[in-house]
């Protein structure tokens, strides 16, 4: 294979677009801040105060209840703010609850693969591992519902999401664990199907990093109170004491010290979302962004969706690959070099930041289409993508 890109790209003249996105922030995490965000809009009274003060606990509790309201989480589900982003929330759940029964691990992108590594190599469980290539889903109807099962609702690095929760049985014996970090606030999740759900507010709501959210169904709480894993749990993972759930964790009494600045930033985003009409408004914005990007992809000769099936295509982390006949004879190394060049051109022009695909995914681009992005900015980005591609090939 060759590292040289074939074709007559050097002969293609493309005019530099005149209009740039007003906010060229298309990173898949941390994502664009909500429109209108500015530091002076944050309520800063809790800064410099203990998170265990009356005010600190009130603000943390308010963030939890706003999360419940916007995501339409049932009253009998617990919600906790936890350390270490979505990763911390998933690690807490898996290390605390897996091992009670057989487990199936589902992976179709890099983060799902990471959970497989944790369970098989660290917890050393004899898990059934079901995989699918980037851009595809496995046969979800074949998942053994007597097992616990762990999956990503929306594959941030593959652009693939599960289309619905119909494949999860109401009579399941195992617990369902959903890493929903780029799905929450952009998709309507079926809470009756989910026992453990995790996300980070740095994704769809554009919050700051380092904090995760863990949502537990009554079945998950029952597991916690009636099962002790065979391995030791570090302090950051412990959610029970004396066989009972530590209820304070789900009322804002965090395990470790949170950043109250990040919490206030999250509250700003939650209130912004409420002003849009809540979850329906957020979903509508993400869908509009993804539709605008898709319309361009359908007309393009050089780019295509990594997720071929529209039914399982993400409306937030939209992953793109080079069209099959766009770069004949080019290997992945050459394609990765082209991606780097495209992303560098766009950043240099101030037209788009952080649009290269994930490092473990097939070479391509990744455009965040979540609700904090404006559709007008997606539309302004599109001619820049064409320009950068042809400029990069001409080099």
Mean pLDDT of 90-98: 98
- pLDDT tens-place string over residues 247-262: 999 999 999 999 999 9
Residues 220 and 282 in one domain: no
Residues 246 and 295 in one domain: no
Write 43-50 long-range contacts (CB < 8 A, 24+): 43/264, 43/267, 43/268, 44/261, 44/264, 46/260, 46/263, 46/264, 47/260, 47/261, 47/264, 49/260
Per-residue pLDDT, 14: 74
Residues 209 and 117 in one domain: yes
The backbone region for 79, taken as left when phi is positive above 0, alpha when psi lies in -120 to 50, beta otherwise, is: beta
Tokens at 120, concatenated: 């098989």
CATH of the domain at 116: 3.40.640.10
Residues 63 and 112 in one domain: yes
Residues 224 and 373 in one domain: no
Q: Is residue 9 part of a domain?
A: no
Residues 265 and 137 in one domain: yes
- Res 172 pLDDT > 70: yes
- pLDDT tens-place string over residues 181-238: 999 999 999 999 999 999 999 999 999 999 999 999 999 999 999 999 999 999 999 9
- Res 13 pLDDT > 70: no
Residues 98 and 130 in one domain: yes
What is the domain range of residue 63? 40-275
- Res 4 pLDDT > 70: no
Q: Is residue 4 part of a domain?
A: no
Confidence of residue 395 (pLDDT cuts 50, 70, 90): confident
Q: Is residue 313 part of a domain?
A: yes
Q: How far apart are CA 12 and CA 393, in angstroms?
A: 9
Residues 27 and 53 in one domain: no
- Res 1 pLDDT > 80: no
Strand partners, 317: 368
- pLDDT tens-place string over residues 300-324: 999 999 999 999 999 999 999 999 9
Q: Is residue 151 part of a domain?
A: yes
Q: Is residue 1 part of a domain?
A: no
Q: Is residue 170 part of a domain?
A: yes
Tokens at 306, concatenated: 């990594």
Residues 147 and 260 in one domain: yes
Domain count, the chain: 2
Q: Is residue 95 part of a domain?
A: yes
Mean pLDDT of 85-95: 98
Residues 146 and 264 in one domain: yes
Q: What is the pTM for the complete model shown?
A: 0.95
pLDDT, mean over the chain: 95
Pick 4 or 313 by higher pLDDT. Answer: 313
Residues 52 and 85 in one domain: yes
Residues 224 and 325 in one domain: no
Q: What is the 3-state secondary structure (H, E, C) of the chain?
A: CECCCCCCHHHCCCCCCCCCCCCCECCCCCCCCCCCCCHHHCCCCCCCCCCCCHHHHHHHHHHHHHHHHHHCCCCCCEEEEEECHHHHHHHHHHHHHCCCCCEEEEECCHHHHHHHHHHHHHCCCCCEEEECCCCCCCCHHHCCCCCEEEEECEECCCCEECCCCCCCCCCCCCCEEEECCCCCCCCCCCHHHCCEEEEECCCCCCCCCCEEEEEECHHHHHHHHHCCCCCCCCHHHCCEECCEECHHHHHCCCCCCCCHHHHHHHHHHHHHHHHCCCHHHHHHHHHHHHHHHHHHHHHCCCEEECCCCHHHECCCEEEEEECCCCCCCECHHHHHHHHHHHHHHHHHHCCCECCECCCCCCCEEEEECCCCCCHHHHHHHHHHHHHHHHHHHHC
């Amino acid at each position: 294979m060759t590292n040289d890109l074939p074709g007559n790209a050097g002969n293609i003249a493309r005019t530099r677009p005149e209009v740039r996105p007003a906010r060229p922030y298309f990173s898949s995490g941390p994502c664009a801040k909500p429109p209108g965000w500015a530091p002076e809009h944050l309520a800063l009274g809790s800064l410099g105060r203990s998170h265990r003060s009356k005010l600190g606990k009130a603000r943390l509790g308010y963030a939890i209840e706003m999360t419940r309201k916007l995501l339409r989480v049932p009253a009998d589900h617990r919600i906790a703010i936890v350390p270490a982003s979505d990763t911390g929330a998933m690690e807490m759940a898996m290390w605390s609850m897996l091992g009670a029964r057989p487990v199936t691990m589902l992976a179709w992108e890099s983060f799902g693969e990471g959970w497989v590594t944790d369970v098989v190599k660290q917890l050393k469980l004899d898990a059934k591992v079901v995989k699918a290539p980037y851009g595809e889903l496995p046969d979800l109807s074949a998942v053994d519902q007597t097992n616990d099962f762990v999956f990503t609702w929306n594959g941030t690095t593959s652009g693939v999401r599960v289309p619905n929760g119909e494949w999860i049985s109401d009579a399941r014996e195992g617990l369902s664990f959903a890493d929903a970090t780029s799905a929450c606030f952009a998709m309507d999740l079926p809470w009756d199907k989910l026992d453990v759900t995790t996300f980070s507010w740095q994704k769809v709501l554009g919050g700051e990093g380092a904090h995760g959210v863990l949502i537990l169904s009554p079945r998950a709480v029952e597991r916690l109170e009636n099962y002790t894993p065979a391995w030791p749990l570090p302090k950051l993972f412990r959610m029970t004491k004396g066989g009972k759930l530590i209820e304070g964790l789900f009322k804002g009494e965090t395990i470790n010290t949170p950043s109250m600045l990040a919490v206030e930033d999250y509250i700003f985003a939650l209130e912004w979302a409420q002003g849009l009409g809540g979850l329906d408004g957020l979903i509508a914005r993400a869908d509009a962004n993804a539709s605008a990007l898709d319309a361009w992809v359908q007309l393009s000769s050089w780019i295509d969706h990594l997720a071929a099936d529209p039914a399982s295509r993400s409306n937030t982390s939209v992953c793109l690959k080079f069209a099959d006949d766009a770069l004949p004879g080019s290997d992945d190394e050459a394609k990765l070099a082209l991606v780097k060049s495209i992303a560098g051109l766009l950043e240099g022009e101030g037209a788009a930041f952080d649009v290269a695909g994930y490092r473990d995914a097939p070479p391509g681009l990744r455009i965040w289409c979540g609700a904090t992005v404006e559709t007008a900015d997606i539309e302004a980005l599109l001619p820049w993508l064409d320009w950068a591609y042809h400029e990069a090939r001409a080099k």
